[in-house]
């Protein structure tokens, strides 16, 4: 035990090799102590093989098995046959038991490794399937060009938020963005430049909104943003900042000319419903276009749909 403790503490060799070696020594000590009094004491010699099996080390098990067969042969012919006069048949039977046990132990290790590999394969397949589903789900929910949510996902999310607004009196503002003179950009520089402009505007919108806000490509050159954790004045300031930053984007392929957006924004009033919210916001966007573009217009309800400039 002292030797084993010193081995485990100070040896640079593998700890399991130390355990197996100590098991080998202990097994032979036990064997020589009980052999004169108990038949079949040779079974104690299988201890290191069993320890190697516990570690599931195929190489160590094979080495210990071969060493056990050879070493016991030396013990038999050097001691047992001369001193105890044990028959050769008993020696052969013990050796056969050793060999069979080693073979069975190797089979256990092989089957365990096969089971582990199958489990790893199934786990990897499950992970790959989860990744594929996540990618597929993202593709179904996002716009391929801009990376923002698509029209369908936007309406699903808005419906859910409006339900929460009605039940929990949450703040919600809807803003609609439209790129000014986008048709002229396509006609002048080509649709591929138009796609670059769309992506640049979308990147700016996606990068400037809050974590609890929701941005989508509503259609064509139109974008929508839902604000859920801001007051009305904060939402207005956010879209005004977006308008200014979008106008500062450098579009190298579009003659380096500024690309601007017109924005309509509306604060949701309880009981309005989705249709009225959209009508107000769309009217505000239309007013922004009529007022010279590159501006933000705020809509509110007052004796019918009335459009007024905010701030």
Active site (catalytic) residues: 221
Phi/psi at 267 (nearest 5 deg)?
A: -90, 130
What kind and span of H or E run contains 167?
A: helix 151-168
- 3-state secondary structure string, 227-247? ECCCCHHHHHHHHHHHHHHHH
For the four alpha carbons of 67, 69, 72 and 77, in that order, the dihedral sign comes to negative
DSSP-based three-state secondary structure for 248: coil
Residues pairing with 298 in the sheet: 265, 308
In 3D space, the residue among 292, 308, 310 whose CA is nearest the CA of residue 180 turns out to be 292
What is the 8-class DSSP label of residue 252?
G
Q: What's the CA gap between 94 and 84, in Å, rounded?
A: 15
How do strand 261-267 and strand 214-219 relate by DSSP bridges?
Answer: unpaired
In 3D space, the residue among 101, 102, 32 whose CA is nearest the CA of residue 61 turns out to be 102
DSSP-based three-state secondary structure for 294: coil
Four-CA torsion 263, 264, 267, 272, nearest 10 degrees: -150
């Amino acid at each position: 035990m002292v030797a084993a403790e010193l081995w485990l503490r100070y040896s640079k060799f593998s700890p399991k090799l130390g355990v197996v070696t100590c098991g080998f020594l202990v097994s032979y000590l036990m064997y020589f102590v009980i052999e004169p009094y108990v038949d079949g004491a040779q079974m104690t010699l299988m201890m290191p093989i069993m320890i190697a099996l516990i570690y599931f080390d195929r190489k160590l098990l094979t080495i210990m098995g071969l060493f056990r067969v050879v070493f016991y042969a030396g013990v038999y012919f050097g001691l047992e046959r001369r001193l105890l006069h044990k028959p050769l048949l008993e020696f052969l039977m013990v050796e056969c038991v050793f060999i069979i046990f080693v073979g069975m132990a190797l089979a256990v290790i092989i089957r365990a490794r096969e089971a582990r590999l199958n489990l790893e394969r199934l786990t990897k397949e499950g992970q790959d399937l989860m990744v594929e589903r996540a990618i597929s789900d993202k593709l179904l929910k996002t716009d391929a060009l801009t990376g923002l949510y698509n029209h369908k996902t936007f309406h699903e999310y808005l419906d859910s938020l409006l339900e929460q607004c009605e039940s929990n009196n949450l703040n919600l503002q809807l803003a609609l963005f439209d790129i000014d003179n986008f048709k002229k950009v396509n006609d002048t520089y080509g649709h591929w430049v138009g796609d670059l402009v769309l992506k640049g505007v979308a990147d700016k919108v996606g990068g400037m909104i809050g974590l609890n806000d929701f941005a989508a490509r509503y259609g064509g050159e139109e974008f929508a943003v839902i604000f859920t954790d801001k007051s009305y004045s904060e939402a207005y300031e956010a879209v005004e900042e977006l308008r200014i930053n979008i106008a500062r984007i450098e579009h190298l392929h579009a003659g380096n000319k500024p690309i601007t957006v017109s924005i309509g924004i509306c604060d949701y009033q309880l009981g309005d419903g989705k249709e009225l919210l959209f009508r107000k916001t769309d009217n505000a966007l239309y007013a922004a276009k009529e007022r010279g573009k590159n501006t933000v217009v705020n809509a509110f309800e007052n004796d019918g749909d009335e459009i007024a400039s905010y701030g």
